[in-house]
Amino acid sequence: MAKYRHHLPQLNGNLFLTDAGIETTLIFHEGLDLPYFAAFHLLKDEEGRQALKKYFRRHAAIARENGTGFILESATWRASADWGDKLGYSAQELDAANHKAIDLLHELREELETDRSPMVISGCVGPRGDGYDPGKVMSPEEAEAYHGRQIRVFAEAGADLVTAITMTNTNEAIGVTRAARAADMPVVISFTVETDGRLPTGESLKEAIEAVDRATGRRPAYFMINCAHPTHFESVLNGESWMQRLRGIRANASKRSHAELDEAEELDDGDPVELGAQYRDLRRRFGHINVLGGCCGTDHRHIEQICGACRQAA
């Protein structure tokens, strides 16, 4: 059963952590095989379930130790129809995997949540295409139809909200938002940006946020940035009113471009201490940004540094 669907505690402004780069951590640090970066594929057996639990426990422990909230983000970034087809899942099997992903987070919340560390369960929606390249851009209507089934499963499984990670274009973000509204679910939209701070489509972050708000009646609970290094987007953040809609950051560890990361054969985990300091500087500029985690190349070390640095800045 959903616990926070109608009163998301992160909207109160307290610091909330998320996990780090789940796929890169599981592949490069844990040695697990994730075809198509599909972490949900681990749910097929008990060994995989335990690997996911270990991963989430390690990150949630940082929140517990520091008295911050935590977002439990489901391992379902690739658990939509096109990616499920590539992995041989039927529609019913994919529904079951999405439900199991939320069930696992309910188990973890029951085990780990404390009064000082509320834990919000989020159903993670990924892009239909690549997280770096929008490819063929769907219409909002096509995107709503494509993502609707996964979002309905999240609602039935008792997730508190939906978070769309690595959205590369506004049409897909609008479609996800409308699908979440149809399922009576709060939704968060997290955009991918390139080294110039713009979406892969060339839209500015301001344009993208304002376009989604305009098309959906400001339906998203808030917006985020992910899959980019702070040096890629810090210069486009300013004091204009649209910035109040941006409440979360899940940055990459690496300063490399998406094209460079695609060609890299080894993990670039950057400098956790430096990354923590960059988050601290952003928090000092924009104190309303309170949902903090990592993306590609980050792991628990980065989250520890981000948490420590940002608690000092509070």
> What torsion, rounded to 10 degrees, do the Cα atoms 60, 64, 66, 71 define?
40
pLDDT value at position 259?
A: 81
- Whether the pLDDT of residue 297 is over 80: the answer is yes
- Whether the pLDDT of residue 133 is over 90: the answer is no
- Whether the pLDDT of residue 8 is over 80: the answer is yes
- Whether the pLDDT of residue 4 is over 90: the answer is yes
Q: Express each pLDDT in 236-253 by its tens digit.
A: 999 999 999 999 999 999
Contact 129, 136 (CB under 8 A): yes
Q: Beta strand 16-17 with 69-73: parallel, antiparallel or unpaired?
A: parallel
**CA 302, CA 272: separation in Å to the nearest integer?**
5
pLDDT value at position 136?
A: 82
pLDDT value at position 312?
A: 78
pLDDT value at position 262?
A: 76
Q: What average pLDDT does this structure show over 117-137? A: 89
Q: Express each pLDDT in 173-220 by its tens digit.
A: 999 999 999 999 999 999 999 999 999 999 999 999 999 999 999 999
Q: According to the 3-state scheme, what is the secondary structure of the chain?
A: CCCCCCCCHHHHCCCEECCCCHHHHHHHHCCCCCHHHCHHHHHHCHHHHHHHHHHHHHHHHHHHHHCCEEEEECCCCCCCHHHHHHCCCCHHHHHHHHHHHHHHHHHHHHHHCCCCCCEEEEEEECCCCCCCCCCCCCCHHHHHHHHHHHHHHHHHHCCCEEEEEEECCHHHHHHHHHHHHHCCCCEEEEEECCCCCECCCCCEHHHHHHHHHHHHCCCCCEEEEECCCHHHHHHHCCCCHHHHHEEEEEECCCCCCHHHHHHCCCCCCCCHHHHHHHHHHHHHHCCCCCEEEECCCCCHHHHHHHHHHHHHHC
**CA 307, CA 204: separation in Å to the nearest integer?**
28
pLDDT value at position 314?
A: 60
- Whether the pLDDT of residue 122 is over 80: the answer is yes
**CA 234, CA 229: separation in Å to the nearest integer?**
9
> What torsion, rounded to 10 degrees, do the Cα atoms 196, 201, 203, 206 define?
-80
